[in-house]
Structure 1
Amino acid sequence: MTKDEKAAEAALAELSRRFPTLRWDFRPDPVGGRTELISQWLGDPEEEVMLCAFTGDHIDERFHRQDFFFINFAYHGTYEALSARYSNRVTLEEGDCYIGQPYSGYAMKKSGPDPVSIVGILIQKEAFLREYLAPISEDPVLLRFFLEPMKNRYADEFIKLSLPRCSPIWNLLRIMMTEYVGGNLCSQKILKSLTLTILLYIIRSYHEEQEKAVKPTLTESLLQYIALHSDSLTLQSMADHFGYHPVYLSRLLVKLTEKTFSELLLDSRMRKAKLFLENTPLSNEKIAELLGYKNASNFYRAYKSYYGTTPRVTKAA
């Protein structure tokens, strides 16, 4: 075992020791008027990213919801997560991760002789929207997943991924554990940067799993590429990626979708714009930047022409 691996194991042991002392403050939902218990932020209020860990052979959490985003990793061993949406237990084997939205129902369950280590990255909701929305906005499916709780308080969606041991995510997670336990100067800045890197790797892994499950058609591949790169895409760059001549690609898109490249690009941008306006407090200037517009005026005109209404009216609705 290397020095860094020993430091990570020591950090895991310390996080596990702290686990029972965290602010396990379950309260009835003060806003929704429902009976489910809500777990408040477990760390210090000034922390925007925190880590926690459980190690042992038995855990029977109360079913609850939480007011933050979280990514739980089956670091060693296997455990089960009780999911509200499917009303059953989801098995998390070693190497899996479970991504939960704010207010999604959840409970960790484990019993038996074999110990398990579960490591969680917790992110305050406001910090998530401020720090991590831009990279996630490239993917409309993931964007909808992370923004849905802003509109539907009890969305109850989750993402489960299997991460190979060769994934850089595991090294990054070990670095995060060591950094969090050490609590040195600039730790929060470092943790937030590492969280962003892990999220980007998770996005990549998510797409790889989706492609393995169902091989997309050519039309789906082209539309997905537009959606993923709509903030900076040109016909030339897309043609280069797929190995086509721009003129051929232009004609192919019309043949397959009955829309031009410019129309498809606008469709993608406007769908994302509507999600931002309906689910976030972002300004028109920030939304324009995320969508790839040079200024807010261009975004405003495009939105009004496309939807027949203004961004302000959509946000106020």
Structure 2
Amino acid sequence: MDKRLIAEFARQETEDLYRMTESLENSVSEEFGNAKQLIPMIQNHIPYTQAELLEFSINESLVRISAEFSMRKHTSCLLPYYHSHDFYEIIYVWQGAGGQMLPGSPRRIELHEGDLCILTPGMVHTMLPCGAGDIVLKIIVPVPMMKTFLHNLQAENGELADEETGLPEMLLKKNEFYIFYNSTETSHVIKRLVDDLLHETYWGTSYRIPAIKNLLQLLLIALGRSSLEKAEDSIFHEVCSYIRQNIRTANFEDLARHVGYSGRQLRRKIADSTGGTFSDILWRIRIEEAASLLNGSDIPVEEVAGVIGYKSTSGFYKRFVHVFHMTPAAYRKLYRGPVS
């Protein structure tokens, strides 16, 4: 990694730790539209445990506000809390993994390296803590800036625009959450654009603002193309759907019969669509399902492996720790949240 990036991310960690401790009131005043109501409630109950903060945030209307573009690392000191925004937020997993949760859903949404999600204004969510080696980037795009980009795309696309499912039409809706998995031919383009945006944000000199705007516009174009690729090649979604419906017994031979391809054809289609294999998709979905069960059910930890199709408990533990950087028991304790 670029030494300048290492130093910048370390600076952000230090800055956010200060904001969360020594300068909490100022931080709340800067970031939340209803700060006057929030500050007394926060002052009366410091420190919060993670479970208490989640419960507090789901009961209060926490709306983050910003009229400026920014791009920062999701720092390790930030506790998870439910909130919405008056801006667009783009979340990109630059390295490792990162988790999201939506209110009312026990399922943790796990994003891996190269995955990206966009939250439109009003969408309530919480970002979960990252592991030591994870780098998750948060890009704030003010509504006027984003709407300019989207209207430009609509104008350029003209009659080809899809009134329901085109990217501009999707992002102009409020309270939406869209995920773009790292599984299409344009994923490497998206990675390069995010890298360029990162460096322009921190070290751009002449024409920095126009450069940032152009990179954001190109990023949206790449995401729009990514959506079209997935619509044209649905094999990835067919595989995921099959695995979720047969989480315990899913296997490659049965999938091939299910979708009507020979084994050789199916391997090639999965590789072309995702750059990986059936096994890659299988273990990822099984681990996500395990996280959901740990978070939303009372199934004993030692039985979760069997429920999702692992014959070896040790193999399940090893894979789970690789993804989440903690044991299944530690994950349940950390993310289960308040029990009513």
TM bracket (short chain): 0.5 to 0.7
Report what 2:192 is aligned to.
171
- C-alpha distance in 1 between matches for 2:188 and 2:233: 17
Matches within 5 A, 1:1-317: 5-20=2-17, 21=19, 23=27, 25-28=31-34, 35-41=60-66, 45=67, 47=68, 49-56=69-76, 59-84=78-103, 86=105, 88-110=107-129, 114-136=132-154, 138-140=161-163, 141=165, 142-149=167-174, 155=175, 157-163=176-182, 167-182=188-203, 184-213=205-234
Q: Which has the higher helix share?
A: 2
The one-letter code matched in structure 1 to 2:196 is I
State the AA in 2 paired with 1:147: L
Q: Which residue of 2 aligns with 1:311?
A: none
Structure 2 distance, partners of 1:171, 1:17, is 27
Change in CA separation of 1:16 and 1:201 when aligned onto 2, cut-off 3 Å: farther
Structure-1 residue corresponding to 2:47? none
Query: What is the CA distance between 1:202 and its match in structure 2?
Result: 0.8
Residue 76 of structure 1 and its aligned partner are, at CA, apart by 1.2
**Compared with structure 1, are the counterparts of its residues 14 and 136 closer, same or farther at alpha carbon in structure 2 (3 Å cutoff)?**
farther
* Counterpart amino acid of residue 152 in structure 2: A
Shift of 1:184: 2.5
Amino acid at match of 1:53: K
TM-score when normalising by structure 2: 0.50
- Counterpart Cα distance in 2 of 1:134 and 1:29: 35
**Which whole-Å CA distance do the structure 1 matches of 2:202 and 2:153 have between them?**
27
TM-score by length of 1: 0.53
- Structure-2 separation of matches of 1:68 and 1:114: 28
Q: In the aligned structure 1, how far is the partner of 2:10 from the partner of 2:154?
A: 32
Distance across 1 between alignment mates of 2:173 and 2:187: 32
Higher strand proportion:
1
Is this contact kept in 2: 1:8–1:175, CA < 8 A? no
Q: What's the secondary structure of 2:113's corresponding residue?
A: coil
Taking only the aligned residue pairs, the percentage that are identical comes to: 19
Counterpart position of 1:250:
none
Letter in 2 for 1:121: I
Q: How many residues align?
A: 197
Q: Which amino acid aligns with 1:26?
A: F
Query: What CA RMSD, in Å, does the superposition of the two structures yield over aligned residues?
Result: 3.3
Distance in 2, matches of 1:183 and 1:88, equals: 39
CA–CA separation in structure 1 for the residues paired with 2:111 and 2:153: 26
Q: Unaligned regions of 5+ residues in structure 2, if any?
A: 20-25, 37-58, 156-160, 237-340
What SS does structure 2 have at the residue aligned with 1:170? Answer: helix
